[in-house]
């Protein structure tokens, strides 16, 4: 190879090296930016991790709360079944009470019918006795007045005779 060719080749090599250096500088600048942002990224990642941990803790609380809620719901459902059974029993008892009240009402009506006339007669007799007693009382008062008057008259006559 001739010197000229070598010089040109060296120039090309030197130019290629310069271009490589420029590219290396750009790459280094990019890597530096990445490294600077890497700290920010790690800080953000730490914040994200903290948030995720809080979410997981709260999720555990929610699961525990859900378990408690499930237990309560099961108890409510069991008690609801008892309430429905009790309601059914009450309805049956209410029907029995209605039937018993109907029978009692019929019995009372029968007693009123059978004994009503007897009671009316007894009340009439009592009323009649009361009226007769009132008549006797008036006659007794009149007789007392007469006896009292006669007592005064006898006293007056005795007083006259003593004189």
pLDDT tens by residue, the chain, 163 residues = 688 888 888 888 888 888 888 888 998 888 888 777 777 777 788 888 888 889 888 888 888 888 888 888 898 888 888 888 888 999 899 999 999 999 999 998 888 888 877 887 787 777 888 888 899 999 999 999 999 999 889 988 988 888 7
Interatomic CA distance for residues 80 and 76, integer angstroms? 6
pLDDT value of position 103: 92
pLDDT value of position 20: 84
pLDDT value of position 32: 84
Interatomic CA distance for residues 30 and 45, integer angstroms? 21
pLDDT value of position 30: 85
Residue 116 has φ and ψ, to the nearest 5°, of -60, -45
Three-class secondary structure of residue 108 per DSSP: helix
b (16+ CB within 10 A) / e for 95-107: eeeeeeeeeeeee
Interatomic CA distance for residues 78 and 84, integer angstroms? 10
Interatomic CA distance for residues 120 and 81, integer angstroms? 56
pLDDT value of position 102: 92
pLDDT value of position 16: 82
b (16+ CB within 10 A) / e for 6-18: eeeeeeeeeeeee
CA distances from 109 to 34, 61, 98, 105, 115 (A): 105, 69, 16, 6, 10
Give me the residue label for tokens 């009506």: 109
Interatomic CA distance for residues 139 and 147, integer angstroms? 12
Write out the two tokens for 32: 């530096």
**pTM of this prediction?**
0.31
DSSP 2: -
pLDDT value of position 18: 87
């Amino acid at each position: 190879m001739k010197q000229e060719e070598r010089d040109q080749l060296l120039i090309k090599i030197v130019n290629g090296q310069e271009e490589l250096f420029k590219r290396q500088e750009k790459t280094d600048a990019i890597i530096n930016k990445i490294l600077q942002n890497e700290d920010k990224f790690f800080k953000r990642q730490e914040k994200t991790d903290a948030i995720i941990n809080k979410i997981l803790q709260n999720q555990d609380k929610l699961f525990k709360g859900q378990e408690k809620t499930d237990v309560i719901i099961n108890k409510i459902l069991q008690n609801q079944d008892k309430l429905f059974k009790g309601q059914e029993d009450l309805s049956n008892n209410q029907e029995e009470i209605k039937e018993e009240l109907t029978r009692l009402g019929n019995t009372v009506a029968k007693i009123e019918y059978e004994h009503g006339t007897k009671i009316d007669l007894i009340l009439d007799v009592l009323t009649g006795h009361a009226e007769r007693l009132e008549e006797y009382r008036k006659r007794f008062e009149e007789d007392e007045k007469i006896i009292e008057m006669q007592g005064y008259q006898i006293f007056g006559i005795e007083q006259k005779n003593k004189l």
